[in-house]
Amino acid sequence: MPRIRVEVDGATYEDDVEPRVLLVHHLRERLGKVGTPVGCDTANCGACTVLLDGLSVKSCSVLAVQADGRSVTTVEGLSPDGSAGHPLQRAFHREHALQCGYCTPGMIMASLDLLRDNPDPSEEEVREGLEGNLCRCTGYQNIVRAVRSAAAEARTGEVAP
């Protein structure tokens, strides 16, 4: 069984893993990082999105062994003190961009990557950019609003009204 070394949210973990184990199962079942949920088995829903070396990936589509020697950021790593202090976390709360919240970790991580590429996205660009993340509760309107609000805050340092 291969031994892998993965940095997750700032801590380094070493494990022997079966080569077939998915990164999301490794995170959830071996490392206890259950903040990243699983919503499907065909890489359609995006609930399990994390950052791998800073880029968003669906962690159900990556093998744990592929993360060897690399760094993973999950939603739990955005505000390690649990304060929900990251601008995207605050914006999702403020704009009521979640209801059941199951898609939220993936939605936030995908938005983080989106804003890195495009710090001032239009409504259309947010919608296209989050196409790989499904939400069943919100109808997306407030998610779009939250992402643009967080973007505006990051650009101007001010929270949009």
Query: Measured between alpha carbons, how far is 49 from 72 in angstroms, rounded to an integer?
Result: 11
**What is the smallest separation between the CB atom of 102 and other proteins, expressed in angstroms?**
3
Answer for which of 4, 21, 51, 72 binds other proteins (CB under 8 A) is 21
Residue written as tokens 């791998």? 52
**For residues 143 and 107, is the Cβ–Cβ distance under 8 A?**
yes
User: Considering only 51-59, 65-73, 121-129, 152-160, which stretch makes contact with other proteins by CB under 8 A?
Assistant: 121-129
- Collapsed DSSP state (helix, strand, coil) of residue 49: strand
Burial class (CB in 10 A: 0-12, 13-18, 19+), 68: middle
Contact positions with other proteins (CB under 8 A) in 129-158: 130-144
Helix (H) or strand (E) holding 43: none
Amino acid 117 reads D
Q: Given the complex with other proteins, which of 25 and 67 has the nearer CB atom?
A: 25
Identify which range of 62-70, 100-108, 113-121, 150-158 contacts other proteins by CB under 8 A: 100-108
State the nearest-atom distance from the C-beta of 92 to other proteins, in Å: 5
The C-alpha atoms of residue 74 and residue 111 are separated, in whole angstroms, by 13
Q: Is 79 an interacting residue with respect to other proteins (CB under 8 A)?
A: yes
Nearest distance, CB of residue 36 and other proteins, angstroms: 7
Query: 70-107 burial string, b = 16+ CB within 10 Å, else e?
Result: bbbbbbbbbeeeeeeebbbbbbbebbebbeeebbbbbb
- Does 65 engage in binding with other proteins (CB under 8 A)? no
Q: How far is the CB of 93 from other proteins (least distance, A)?
A: 4
Q: Give the binding site for other proteins (CB under 8 A).
A: 18, 20-21, 25, 28-29, 34-42, 44-45, 47, 74-76, 78-79, 82-84, 89, 92-94, 96, 98-105, 108, 123, 126-128, 130-144
